[in-house]
Amino acid sequence: MRPARLPGAVARRTLELAATFLGLLAVTFVIGRLVPIDPALALVGDRASASAHAQALHELGLDQPLWRQFLGYLGQVLQGDFGVSRLTSNPVAEDIARVFPATVELATLATLIGVLGGVPLGVIAALRQGTWVDHAVRVASLVGYSVPVFWFGLMGLLVFYARLDWVAGPGRLDLAYEGLVEPRSGLLLLDALLAGEWAVLVDAWRHIVLPASILGYFSMAYLARMTRAFMLEQLHQEYVLTARVKGLAEWRVVLRHALANAAVPLVTVIALSFGHLLEGSVLTEIVFAWPGLGSYLTQALMSADMNAVLGGTVVIGAIFVGLNLLADVLYRWLDPRVR
């Protein structure tokens, strides 16, 4: 991209992100108004008088026209104000800041497992297309897609926790270690490592390894399938045949040429897979009593706490927008043709 076009491209991309985020806020606002839950009634109770209900509607701004309500909602969100949670009586932003690091830690470790396992398996399956290795990888990927994650979680707890005692049980940390590490980043493994609390680090690892491995398996199944497809496409290109005819070593043809070109779309897949793990780990967090965003949103939904539900939805949507932007930047960096 020529320097003269760079400001225009940046401005265009900024407007696209702003429009996407505005659309996200509009959707969450509409959902909040369509859900058959009366926030005012939830605030004052079922036995409140009509005057008390009307007063609650006025205090919440729900007696105003929809366009004015949306403008007020937009202004609050842009200031980081998602309202107060009915469940915890705390600002929703504070609750999300408290629980979100646990989900980030779980999703990050699961993504690492998925990338380190799925990409090599996808490459091997593409190189051994039609052999038993290829079939084994495809069957493992199919199982990862088909079996519900909560079933894997329950079976994992039964086998590795209840029977073999290889891992710790539900939760993020045993009660004996609670409060021993100052929550600097909110990532328990990192905080324990920085504090030099090795007993806490080991206990935290024993708690996270099973749910992260289960989520990582689902991520690995998806990434192996996509990597195989990308590699098969690249291995049938003419430049690969030319490189082999020139006598280049097979590992150089595969790694330096085919995989390097397959990495361009694979970056987008990995980024979106990480986003799906952030918002899709609800069942895993419930099975393992993991105190993350998924568990928080589930409890909020069961309690009709719409401020918490909509606040969490906006945060997850904003993360997807950010991950799409990151994938786009990496895409341009890896592929000069796009630039």
Using CA atoms, how far residue 28 sits from 61, 122, 134, 324, in Å, is 17, 37, 43, 19
Tokens 């609650």 belong to 56
pLDDT of residue 132: 93
Residue pLDDT, tens place only, 268-311:
889 888 888 887 678 888 889 899 888 898 888 887 787 888 88
Cβ atoms < 10 Å from Cβ of 131: 11
Q: Which two tokens stand for residue 290?
A: 């993991």
DSSP secondary structure code for residue 253 in this structure: I
In the structure, what pLDDT confidence band is assigned to residue 109 with cuts at 50, 70 and 90?
very high
Q: What is the CATH number of domain 98-334?
A: 1.10.3720.10
Determine contact, residues 211/109, Cβ cutoff 8 Å: no
In the structure, what pLDDT confidence band is assigned to residue 1 with cuts at 50, 70 and 90?
very low
What region does 248 belong to: left with phi over 0, alpha with psi -120 to 50, or beta?
beta
Higher-scoring residue by pLDDT: 189, 43: 189
pLDDT of residue 159: 92
pLDDT of residue 339: 55
Residue pLDDT, tens place only, 38-54:
666 666 666 767 777 67
Residue pLDDT, tens place only, 205-252:
999 999 999 999 999 999 999 999 999 988 888 888 888 888 777 778
Rounded Cα–Cα distance for residues 34 and 224 (Å): 40
pLDDT of residue 317: 83
pLDDT at 338 over 60: no
pLDDT of residue 114: 93
Average the pLDDT over each of 11-25, 136-150, 196-210 and give the range with the smallest value.
Answer: 11-25
Tokens 């979100």 belong to 100
Using CA atoms, how far residue 188 sits from 73, 193, 221, in Å, is 34, 8, 27
Residue boundaries of the structural domains of the chain = 3-78, 98-334
Q: What average pLDDT does the segment 21-46 reach?
A: 74
Classify burial at 48, counting beta carbons within 10 Å of its beta carbon; exposed 0-12, middle 13-18, buried 19 or more: middle
* Chain mean pLDDT for the chain: 83
